[in-house]
Amino acid sequence: MTANSHTAHSGVRNRLRILGIGAHPDDCELSCGGTAALWSRQGHEVTFLSVTNGQSGHHGASGAQLIARRAEEARRAASVIGAESQILPLADGYLVPSIENRLMLIRAIRVVAPDVIVTNRLHDYHPDHRHAAQLVLDAAYSLMVPNIAPDVPALSFNPIILHWWDPFKLPVPFDPVTVVSVDQVFEEKLEMLHQHESQMYEWLPWIEGYAGEVPAASDERRDWLRGRYKLRVSPTLAERYREQLRARYGSKGDAVMEAEAVELCEYGAQPSPEELARLFDFSA
């Protein structure tokens, strides 16, 4: 293993701490919820951390009421797979990669002490997404530096940092190190999204212009959400990375409908191919 490898835990441990870091309370569920569900099924500890409080993500609600609602939605969503939800007290829509915010994130990451961090890349349409990614990368080295944020003990190891998929091609396109099927946990991912009612059935339909399609009844909404997800998201990943799915699953890769992909960040620990294979071994 290289000098920057995951030596503190002698490679990938049997019981891992997985930390998803998103800019908003529903980002992790949308982007890595299936993989997180697979990890949780294996007994690993999963935490979803939102860097902002979601205060701007609605057209009819705002302030403390919306913050509290989104926190409860995030808690319920994480609980679907036995995960924990954490939210930093930073304003949605106003996130900046400041030193103060970096120190806050360093402290939050150290408390979780994750073996693996999953987050978005630096290239994204939303400034909160870009700045959340920047904060993670700016925090990466300092996680092990005792004199930075000394009130919370520094980590004795460097976490593996992974980026979830995005469609943006500039300045560089997404380059997956792993593509996995999440078919077996898709209903769990859908249930996590279903818990984010303010987003899935109110805010996103309103701002994207399809609010009139949303059913009123909860059970009808869940079926509608499944169709909406399959229409907009499913074909993108499974078809885009069909060859990688075939390489992983053989002929069964042709039948995969729901997939998630991650890119390995050059910051953080650099796992060996064998460590990566164990990290994403969901065959059991």
Number of Cβ within 10 Å of residue 148's Cβ equals 17
pLDDT at 7: 38
Between CA 258 and CA 38 the distance in angstroms is 13
Which are the contacts of 159, defined by CB distance < 8 A and separation ≥ 6? 19, 109, 114, 115, 116, 117, 140, 143, 268, 269
pLDDT reading at 3 higher than 90: no
In the predicted structure, residue 5 carries a pLDDT above the cut 80: no
65 token code pair: 């009421």
Report how far residue 108's alpha carbon sits from residue 22's, in angstroms, rounded to the nearest whole number: 13
Other beta carbons within 10 Å of 114: 25
Q: Which two tokens mark 102?
A: 């970096």
- Cβ neighbour number for residue 33 with a 10 Å cutoff: 31
Is 70 exceeded by the pLDDT of residue 95? yes
CA 228 to chain centre: 20
Beta-strand runs (E) in the chain: 17-22, 45-50, 84-87, 116-119, 160-164, 178-181, 259-268
Contact residues for 204 (Cβ-Cβ < 8 A; gap 6+): none
Q: Is residue 187 scored above 90 in pLDDT?
A: yes
* Predicted confidence (pLDDT) at residue 11 exceeds the cutoff of 90: no
* Separation between Cα atoms, residue 234 and residue 183, nearest integer Å: 10
Strand partners, 87: 50
- Secondary structure of residue 147 in the 3-state scheme: coil
Window from 109-118, 230-239, 266-275 with minimum mean pLDDT:
230-239
Alpha carbon 181 to chain centroid, angstroms:
16
Task: Give the predicted TM-score (pTM) of the model.
Answer: 0.93
pLDDT at 9: 44
Contact indicator for 22, 121 with CB cutoff of 8 Å: no
Q: Tokens standing for 93? A: 């829509």
Q: How far apart are CA 128 and CA 136, in angstroms?
A: 12
Per-residue CA distances from 152 to 19, 110, 253 (Å): 17, 7, 45
Task: Tell me the C-alpha distance between 163 and 119, whole Å.
Answer: 5
pLDDT score, position 284: 60
The third-level CATH classification (topology) of the domain covering 7-181+261-279 is: Rossmann fold (3.40.50)
Name which of 48, 119, 117 is nearest 80 in CA terms: 48
CA distance 123 to 51: 17
pLDDT at residue number 283? 83
Question: What does the pLDDT look like over 45-87, one tens digit per residue?
Answer: 999 999 999 999 999 999 999 999 999 999 999 999 999 999 9
Question: Which parts of 10-138 are beta strand (E)?
Answer: 17-22, 45-50, 84-87, 116-119
pLDDT, mean of residues 229-254: 90
The residues spanned by each domain of the chain are 7-181+261-279
SS3 31: helix
Residue-wise pLDDT for 205-235, tens only, equals 999 999 999 999 988 999 999 999 887 776 7
Range from 7-16, 164-173, 182-191, 242-251 carrying the lowest mean pLDDT: 7-16
Q: What is residue 9's DSSP assignment?
A: G
